[in-house]
């Protein structure tokens, strides 16, 4: 068992990237790149969102013919199925004979990395590609008026987070670019074994807006880019500084939002008030990429008791609501998965009664993950906190507190 170390971050912002001109707009350039990948990158297929014919919606499609890629784009106006979940349904039982690339938003790739650690995704034959993400629109609003949504999304794609149309999760997202860039060290060359969670990143925020940057993040990413004949000869410094500027703003925004949340959601009464309208549909769980259990405890009958037990509880309390213990579902789910929460907002997009589930979960994620030196989806090599331990840690939570004691005398080395 290796103890968790200070995370080193991705470190690996490659100094140079390939450049693809975009005379007809970045969307077209991205599509062209996907086609080149498909035709020359030595891949069997691509997993990417593709327009559903004659509708304003996109679905995850495994594409084998490059013509289909004309209708593909990793940045559809809304997040339908979270990409991590899509990749899980494809690779859960292994991908031994396929070499595919999955192209997705950063928060989706993070979920894929968490799922890989949970053995719900296989990444061994998958090239993970992310793209600078301008955010997505609230699902319900888009469904209610797709035309208006498409109009709005044009603004979203052009204004880089400076607009009022984004989903709440995107409005405070600080992980919209190359994964890990937001909390890793920035300077200096990356060591060869620098942990990274994605292979190739598509930069849209480069100084030259007439093209896109293709960043080879891992050696396998670099190899594939090489196969496509694209030369990585453009410096990435301009792109990086643009991303970092935006990051700084977004981090401040996130911080401010979180201070506000403290007032909105903490304390028993406020917490219960947030979940008052809950209709117990479990949508939030069903769409959450990192809630992967085949049989969730909260969907089983195990949690229910015989009516005499409820009668007894009702008698003692004077009243009891049904189904019982609404709080348990949310807190229980949280205690199982919040260290892997990637703040993607899929849960609140799916809530029929507009409970800000993602706000609550990402707040708790931000509060808890650092305590374990962890950041969900950032580093493939970082073990899941609950599947790992140090022999001496968290002394402050033990009663009596073991802090300051010479614990090592108590710790018996297990052979």
Partner 1 sequence: MTQEFKPNLVGYLCNWCSYAGADLAGATKLEIKPTLSVVRVMCSSRVNSNLVLTALAWGADGVLIAGCHPGDCHYEQGNYYARRRFALLKKILESLDLEADRIQLSWISAAEGKRYADIVNDFAEKISRRGPSPLRNHSKI
**Measured CA angle at 358 (ends 369, 164), to 5 deg:** 120
Residue 325 CA to residue 309 CA, distance in Å, equals: 14
In 3D space, the residue among 190, 185, 199, 125 whose CA is nearest the CA of residue 380 turns out to be 199
# residues near ligand SF4 by CB under 6 A: 38
Residue in 61, 112, 247, 346 binding ligand SF4, rule: CB under 6 A: 346
Cβ-proximal residues to 163 (8 Å cutoff; 6+ apart), any chain: 155, 156
**Could you tell me the smallest distance in angstroms from the CB atom of residue 205 to ligand SF4?**
13
d(CA 107, CA 167): 14
What stretches of 176-217 show up as alpha helix (H) in DSSP? none
Question: Does 364 engage in binding with partner 1 (CB under 8 A)?
Answer: yes
Cβ closest to partner 1, residue 42 vs residue 267:
267
Q: How far from 162 is each of 74, 109, 155, 172, 246, CA to CA, in Å?
A: 20, 24, 9, 11, 10
Binding residue (CB under 6 A) for ligand SF4 from 200, 224, 246, 288: 288
Applying the rule CB under 8 A, the residues between 42 and 81 that interact with partner 1 are none
Contacts with ligand SF4, 126-165, as mask; x by CB under 6 A: -------x-xx-----------------------------
Task: Provide the minimum distance between the beta carbon of 282 and partner 1 in the complex, in angstroms, as a whole number.
Answer: 15
The nearest distance, CB 177 to ligand SF4, in angstroms, is 8
Cα separations (Å) of 279 from 250, 300, 302? 33, 17, 20
- Contact window for ligand SF4 (CB under 6 A) among 117-125, 194-202, 272-280, 385-393: 272-280
Residues 133-192 that bind partner 1 (CB under 8 A): none
Q: Check binding of 403 to partner 1 (CB under 8 A).
A: no
Q: How many residues bind partner 1 (CB under 8 A)?
A: 52
Sheet holding 100-104, edge to edge: 58-63, 45-51, 100-104, 126-131, 200-203, 211-216, 16-21, 232-235
Cα(220)–Cα(200) distance, integer angstroms: 9
Among 183, 271, 286, 293, binds partner 1 (CB under 8 A): 271
Tokens 């100084």 -> residue: 207
> How many Cα atoms occupy the beta-carbon half-sphere of 78 within 13 Å?
25
Angle between helices 237-265 and 357-368 (to 10 degrees): 110
Q: How far is the CB of 225 from partner 1 (least distance, A)?
A: 40
Could you tell me the two tokens for 109? 């790739």
Residue 353 contact partner, candidates ligand SF4, partner 1, none, CB within 5 to 8 A by sort of partner = ligand SF4
Which phi and psi angles does 398 have, rounded to 5°? -85, 150
Interaction between residue 316 and partner 1 (CB under 8 A)? yes
Per CB under 8 A, the list member of 2, 6, 97, 317 interacting with partner 1 is 317
Q: Which of 347, 363, 366, 377 binds ligand SF4 (CB under 6 A)?
A: 347
Residue 296 is a binding residue for partner 1 (CB under 8 A): no
Closest CA to 303 of 262, 332, 276: 332
- Provide the minimum distance between the beta carbon of 157 and partner 1 in the complex, in angstroms, as a whole number: 34
Fill in the per-residue mask, 69 to 98: x = in contact with ligand SF4 (CB under 6 A), - = not in contact: ----------x-------------------
Helix axes 106-117, 83-91, angle to 10 degrees: 40
Residue 404 binding result from ligand SF4, partner 1, none, given CB thresholds of 5 to 8 Å by partner type: none
Does the footprint of partner 1 cover residue 282 (CB under 8 A)?
no
> Token match 């007809």: residue?
24
- The span from the CA of 38 to the CA of 67, in Å, is 10
Pick the closest to residue 168 from 365, 348, 377 (CA basis): 348
Q: Is 319 in the site for partner 1 (CB under 8 A)?
A: yes
Q: Least Å distance between CB 386 and partner 1?
A: 6
Under the rule (CB under 8 A), what is the footprint of partner 1? 1, 265-268, 271-272, 276, 297, 303, 313, 316-319, 321, 325-328, 331-332, 334-336, 338-339, 363-364, 367-368, 371-372, 385-386, 388-394, 397-400, 407, 410-414
What are the residues binding ligand SF4 (CB under 6 A)?
79, 105-107, 133, 135-136, 169-170, 173, 175-176, 278-284, 288-290, 341-347, 350-353, 355, 357-358, 361-362
């Amino acid at each position: 068992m290796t103890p968790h170390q200070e995370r080193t971050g991705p470190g690996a912002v490659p100094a140079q990237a390939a450049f693809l001109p975009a005379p007809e707009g970045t969307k077209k350039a991205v599509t062209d790149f996907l086609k080149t990948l498909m035709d020359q990158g030595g891949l069997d297929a691509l997993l990417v969102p593709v327009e559903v014919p004659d509708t304003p919606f996109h679905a995850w499609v495994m594409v084998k013919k490059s013509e289909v890629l004309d209708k593909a784009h990793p940045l559809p106006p809304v997040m339908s199925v979270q990409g991590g979940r899509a990749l899980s349904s494809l690779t859960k039982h292994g991908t031994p004979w396929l070499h595919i690339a999955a192209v997705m938003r950063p928060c989706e790739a993070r979920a894929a990395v968490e799922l890989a650690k949970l053995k719900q995704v296989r990444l061994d034959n998958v090239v993970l590609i992310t793209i600078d993400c301008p955010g997505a629109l609230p699902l319900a609003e888009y469904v209610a008026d797709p035309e208006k949504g498409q109009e709005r999304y044009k603004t979203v794609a052009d204004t880089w987070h400076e607009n009022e149309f984004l989903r709440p999760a995107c409005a405070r997202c600080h992980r919209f670019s190359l994964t890990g860039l937001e909390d890793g060290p920035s300077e200096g060359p990356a060591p060869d074994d620098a942990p990274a969670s994605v292979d190739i990143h598509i930069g849209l925020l480069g100084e030259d807006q007439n093209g896109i940057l293709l960043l080879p993040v891992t050696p396998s990413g670099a190899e594939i880019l090489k196969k496509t004949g694209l030369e990585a000869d453009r410096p990435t410094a301009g792109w990086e500084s643009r991303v970092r500027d935006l990051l700084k703003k977004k981090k401040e925004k996130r911080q401010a939002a979180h201070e506000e949340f403290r007032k909105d959601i903490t304390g028993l009464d406020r917490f219960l008030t947030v979940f008052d309208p809950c209709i117990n549909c479990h949508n939030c769980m069903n769409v959450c990429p990192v809630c992967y259990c085949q049989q969730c405890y909260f969907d089983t009958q195990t949690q229910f008791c015989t009516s005499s037990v409820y009668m007894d509880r009702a008698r003692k309390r004077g009243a009891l609501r049904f189904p019982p213990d609404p709080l348990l579902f949310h807190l229980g789910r949280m205690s199982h998965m919040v260290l892997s929460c990637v703040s993607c907002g899929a849960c609140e997009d799916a809530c029929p009664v507009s409970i800000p589930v993602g706000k609550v979960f990402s707040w708790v994620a931000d509060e808890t993950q650092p305590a374990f030196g962890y950041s969900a989806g950032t580093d493939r090599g970082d073990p899941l906190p609950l599947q790992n331990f140090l022999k001496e840690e968290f002394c402050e939570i033990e009663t009596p507190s073991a802090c300051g004691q010479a614990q090592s005398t108590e710790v018996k080395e297990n052979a």
